A and B are shown apart, each in its own frame.
Chain A
């Protein structure tokens, strides 16, 4: 299983772009990269998932370099409501067992300041 490493915490100001990087040096060929967001007292919420290059949706962008040993979640123009914990997960989602071999680490605690 690919282990991930993320910064424990980050601070940002409203309106700034926030980039959270995740290291996954032993990512396997079939592994995908997934990011979840968790607000206090709530379950995690899926943000974005990708395999290589760049993926963008209405909430965030995910940048994955060619070697796939790291990935960066980019949140454009954050607001106070983006204060949350962000988890990076790596795993093979195509297999039945792979789907549930994802490991939620301790995540990155993002605090957005006014």
Chain B
């Protein structure tokens, strides 16, 4: 079956530090990969996505590259801000009949201090 393993948190950084949150996956075929962000008390927002090998998703200074050879989709940002403090979820989706489901990792809490 499908599974997503992401870096255990919490992660605490100072403003302008470099961020990496690791994510690896197990899936059959060619899944689509996503990073979602959840700010306190809110729903999930799609941060970026990649649908095939070597695709790079990017948004708001965040990037992640779909690496099929290492089954990874690590999230990076060169300079984090206090406003990036949130929980980040890595997720994958695989087709299967009409089952358009997401498989989530456990989430990584990021706290950025000024």
Q: Do A and B bind each other?
A: no
Q: Which residues of A contact B (CB under 8 A)?
A: none
